[in-house]
């Protein structure tokens, strides 16, 4: 069933405007710097399946960009389907040495994967089997 309510339509319209604005910014950066690699960092909803910004760039006459998508270790691998992105990279644990908000520190401790020291800096509490060391 496709949603037709006004709230959902406003959400979709705002996403389309945002996708177009990001695409225009990327296209302008590429135009101003011929031959340069232009990188846009955005949420996965603007990237997956070539929808969003990629679609807008192609509508503006640009080549289809490459999409690199982070993949959390807790995500369902059944969602890794052809066309989702050009590549995915694993995200096992957050990097060390960064400050965390109190709620994130609590959630981290509850998950047991990592926690924060007294100053709020991240540190690895345990390593996941097979996780990259570093």
pLDDT at residue 126, as a whole number: 43
List the single range of 13-22, 36-45, 74-83, 111-120 with lowest mean pLDDT.
111-120
How far CA 5 is from CA of 8, 9, 41, 96, 131, in Å, comes to: 6, 6, 30, 44, 44
- CA quadruple 113, 78, 44, 103: dihedral positive or negative? negative
Which phi-psi region, left, alpha or beta, contains residue 30 (left: φ > 0; alpha: ψ -120 to 50)? alpha
List the structure tokens of 89. Answer: 């990279």
List the single range of 77-81, 104-108, 109-113 with lowest mean pLDDT.
109-113
pLDDT at residue 102, as a whole number: 60
pTM of the model: 0.64
Is residue 77 a contact partner of residue 89, using CB atoms and an 8 Å limit?
no
What is the share, in percent, of the chain residues with pLDDT greater than 70? 68
**Mean pLDDT, residues 21-35 taken together:** 95
Judged against a pLDDT cut of 70, whether residue 34 lies above it is answered with yes
């Amino acid at each position: 069933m496709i949603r037709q309510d006004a709230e959902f339509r406003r959400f979709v319209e705002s996403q389309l405007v945002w996708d177009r604005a990001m695409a225009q910014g990327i296209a302008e950066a590429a135009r101003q710097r011929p031959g340069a690699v232009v990188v846009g960092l955005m949420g996965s909803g603007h990237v997956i399946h070539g929808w969003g910004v990629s679609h807008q760039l192609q509508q503006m006459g640009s080549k289809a960009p490459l999409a690199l998508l982070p993949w959390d270790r807790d995500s369902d691998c059944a969602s890794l389907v052809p066309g989702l992105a050009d590549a995915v990279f694993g995200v096992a644990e957050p990097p060390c040495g960064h400050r965390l908000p109190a709620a994130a520190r609590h959630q981290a401790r509850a998950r047991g994967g990592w926690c924060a020291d007294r100053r709020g800096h991240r540190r690895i509490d345990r390593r996941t089997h097979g996780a990259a060391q570093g």
